[in-house]
Amino acid sequence: MSILTEFPSIDTETLRSLKKSIDAGFKNFSRNYGDNIESFFEPVRFLLIESEQFLINTPWPIIMAIIAIIAWSGSKNIKIVVSVVMILLLIGYFDMWENTMKTISITFVAALLAIVFGIPIGILMAKSNFFQRVMNPVLDVMQTMPSFVYLIPVVMLLGIGKIPGLIAVVIYSIPPMIRLTNLGIRLVNQAVIEAADSYGASNTQKLIYIQIPLALPTIMAGINQTIMLALSMVVIASMIGVTGLGQPVLTAIQNQYFTLGIFNGFAIVGIAIVFDRVSQAYGKRIQESHGTINDK
Amino acid sequence: MISKPYIKLKNVSKVFGQNPDTVIDLVQNNIDKTELQNDYNHVIGLQNINIDIPKNKIQVFMGLSGSGKSTLIRHLNQLIRPTSGEIVVNNVNVTELNKKDLINFRRENFAMVFQKFALLPHRTVLSNTYFGLQIRGVKSPELENTAKYWIDKVGLDGFENYHPNQLSGGMQQRVGIARALANDAPILLMDEPFSALDPLIRIEMQDMLITLQKELKKTIIFITHDLDEALKLGDNIAILRDGKIIQSGTGQDIILNPYDSYISNFTAQVNRGKVIECEKVMKKLSKDAFSKVTITKETKLEEAARIMISNNINEVDVLNSKKKYIGTVYLNDVMASIINPIDEP
């Protein structure tokens, strides 16, 4: 009874030829269309390079002032602004300013892309139960598939560099944006939607006047999560050529440089805290101005 | 005086469940609600509703929870579509409107006030009030000016920039009413608007509605579970039970001739002196000169009693609108009618 001790699998020969033909097919595809796909991502590369150049070439006090102003307008909390400036000063003092700017740049562009694509997809999911059923397993795969696995086809298509790194970061960080937009819109009090219907609001009017504003605190939580996940991806992304704080960490792992790893690791934590506190404080302020979200 | 119906419901039925079309024949043939529920697993929302609602009056629908009153009011603006039957509003059969026409029809004809207010929590009192106008595409200066006018009208002057959660329940419902009136729709749908409020605030709001209606003369559909409220506000009252209208008429009709014991149980609690008019106890004498103090036949019994007692008299003469004598009312009869059911002449 060998069927009980050994799982009845397809034979090695068939399996090998299956893998071979899929690999060959994909290789052909990337040879034929790789250039087209690369030019498709040209605007994103432009955005990425421009934002990086801006952050690195602008004198550091100006960048710091800009970040402090953003922190203030987001949180209206002087404590948060002071700690943000302190963190940036420490990072600069330990000579990690340039790498930090590179990391902020890719995180910013990745978050921007996640917002631009994630919010409309989330809205569609909220509007259509069918689309939600289709999207949910896709999002599950995006969140649980080890990122190295989808790095392979991306690198095959686009080679090593910023763009494949960015794509990997966006794939990894966009699911919470989509899920929380969907959730936020679905949680809007039905009584308010009914009131809008009774006054003859169209679907677009309901979306603009009611659903998006009321889902905004939840959407902000999604943006916050997206930024956090994007930051956590920078080390992995550095393996395929994304520069920034991830690269020294990678060097440290390869050469067992404990201190180098710890410094850059803390710099990543520092930026994460900056992004997190500012975006959370902003989300909380929206929530307060809304009063209770679902007053039932 | 009889105006032609402005809103007409013809054999309207609504069934909730998996497959309403399969049981609609049974519902139209007056199947019992519990029988349908037990044997066919469908729930009756409304069953063969027929009613004509006149223009510019307050039509009250009264019933306990589960009687179908909230379902009925949502049929008028088609928030709920009927399973069968016809609903004609201002000569338009609303059940036949497509989605786009329905949206326009709602914008032009209806404004609605809700039991739980259903204000937009992220908007101020001002922008809540102009919500309906904004939906209809009214532009900026007119938007704010109209909203401001109605905010003043409902007594919320100075609260324009507050958010709903900063206001008390009564004030929130004033915003709800301002939002509805700002729309200037001919039909005002009010779904238990005062049920969530404290008794004293409720009376205050009822009085405000009566004052506003004297000026506005809208067609108001008012839902309530409170017979006192129904009698105070309604020009006509329809009583619902299990999705059916069991009696419809003026408040006085219902008090004097309750259709069955279900209704008489309600009416037994009511202050009859506030509802019944003097015409019902008036005696016709032949008289030339009449008393110093007079009343009209629409004067309520309680008011007539108050007039007689404060003037220290036992009888008072009733005059018509042309100041001609039509009868006399005796204090004894008035008091007796307030206490006991009176026999119809």
Quote the longest CA-to-CA distance of chain A. 75
**Sheet architecture: strand order including B58-62:** B110-113, B187-191, B219-224, B58-62, B236-241, B244-249
Domain count, chain A: 1
Distance, CA of B170 to CA of B178 (rounded, Å): 12
Q: Worst-scoring range by mean pLDDT, A285-294, B86-95, B117-126?
A: A285-294
What pTM value is reported for the model?
0.82
Q: How does the average pLDDT of chain A come out, rounded?
A: 90
Asked whether residue A295 is assigned to any structural domain, the reply reads: no
Residues of A in contact with B183 (CB under 8 A): 199
A74-91 mean pLDDT = 93
pLDDT (0 to 100) of residue B289:
66
**Partners of B112 in the β-ladder:** B189
In whole angstroms, how far apart are CA B167 and each of A170, A290, B4, B172, B174? 44, 13, 41, 6, 10
Q: Which residue ranges form the domains of chain B, and what is each CATH number? A: 53-272 (3.40.50.300), 274-339 (3.10.580.10)
B123 exposure class (CB count in 10 Å sphere: 0-12, 13-18, 19+)? buried
Residues of B in contact with A217 (CB under 8 A): none
Contact B107 A192 (CB under 8 A): no
Distance, CA of A79 to CA of A87 (rounded, Å): 12
Please report how many Cα atoms fall inside a 13 Å half-sphere around the Cα of residue B324, on the Cβ side.
3
State the complex-level ipTM. 0.84
Residues of B in contact with A214 (CB under 8 A): 120-122
Q: Which residue has the tokens 């049929």?
A: B75
Residues of A in contact with B166 (CB under 8 A): 291
> Who among B118, B122, B135 is closest to A200 (CB)?
B135
- What's the pLDDT band for A225 if we cut at 50, 70, 90? very high
Distance, CA of A183 to CA of A185 (rounded, Å): 5
Tokens (6 digits) for B2: 């009889």
Asked whether residue A242 is assigned to any structural domain, the reply reads: yes
pLDDT (0 to 100) of residue A296:
34
Asked whether residue A8 is assigned to any structural domain, the reply reads: no
Tokens (6 digits) for B300: 């309520």
CATH number at residue A46: 1.10.3720.10
Taking CA atoms, what residue in B is nearest to A193? B118
Q: Please tell me the distance in Å from B116's CA to the nearest CA on chain A.
A: 8
Smallest Cα–Cα separation from A108: which of A159, A50, A178, A39? A50
Instruction: Calculate ∠ Cα B235-B238-B240, nearest 5°.
Output: 155
Asked whether residue A2 is assigned to any structural domain, the reply reads: no
> Who among B108, B122, B134 is closest to A290 (CB)?
B122
Q: Please tell me the distance in Å from B117's CA to the nearest CA on chain A.
A: 9
In whole angstroms, how far apart are CA B106 and each of A196, A199, B93? 10, 6, 13
Interval B293-342: pLDDT, tens: 888 888 888 888 999 998 888 888 888 888 888 888 888 888 888 875 65
Smallest Cα–Cα separation from A187: which of A138, A227, A224, A222? A222
B72-82 mean pLDDT = 94
Distance, CA of B45 to CA of B63 (rounded, Å): 13
Residues of A in contact with B120 (CB under 8 A): 192, 195, 209-210, 214
Asked whether residue A47 is assigned to any structural domain, the reply reads: yes
Instruction: Yes or no: say if B316 and B294 are a contact pair by the CB < 8 Å rule.
Output: yes
Range of the domain at A167: 13-290
Q: Please tell me the distance in Å from B42's CA to the nearest CA on chain A.
A: 24
Instruction: Yes or no: say if A230 and A293 are a contact pair by the CB < 8 Å rule.
Output: no
Q: Please tell me the distance in Å from B122's CA to the nearest CA on chain A.
A: 4
Bridge-based pairing of strands B236-241 and B84-89 is unpaired
Distance, CA of B273 to CA of B276 (rounded, Å): 6
pLDDT (0 to 100) of residue B105:
94
Asked whether residue A5 is assigned to any structural domain, the reply reads: no
- AA identity, residue B9: L
Q: Which residues of B144-163 are buried (b: 16+ CB within 10 A; e: fewer)?
A: eebbbebbebbebeebbebb
Contact A200 B106 (CB under 8 A): yes
B42-49 mean pLDDT = 93
Asked whether residue A107 is assigned to any structural domain, the reply reads: yes
pLDDT (0 to 100) of residue A295:
39
Residues of B in contact with A202 (CB under 8 A): 103
Bridge-based pairing of strands B219-224 and B236-241 is unpaired
Contact A194 B183 (CB under 8 A): no
Asked whether residue A1 is assigned to any structural domain, the reply reads: no
Interval B256-272: pLDDT, tens: 888 888 888 888 878 88
Whether the predicted pLDDT of B188 surpasses 70: yes
User: Which residues of A lie closer than 8 Å to B, measured between beta carbons?
Assistant: 189, 191-192, 194-202, 205, 209-210, 213-214, 289-293, 295-296
- AA identity, residue B293: V
> Who among A198, A213, A291 is closest to B106 (CB)?
A198
Percent of chain A at pLDDT exceeding 90: 68
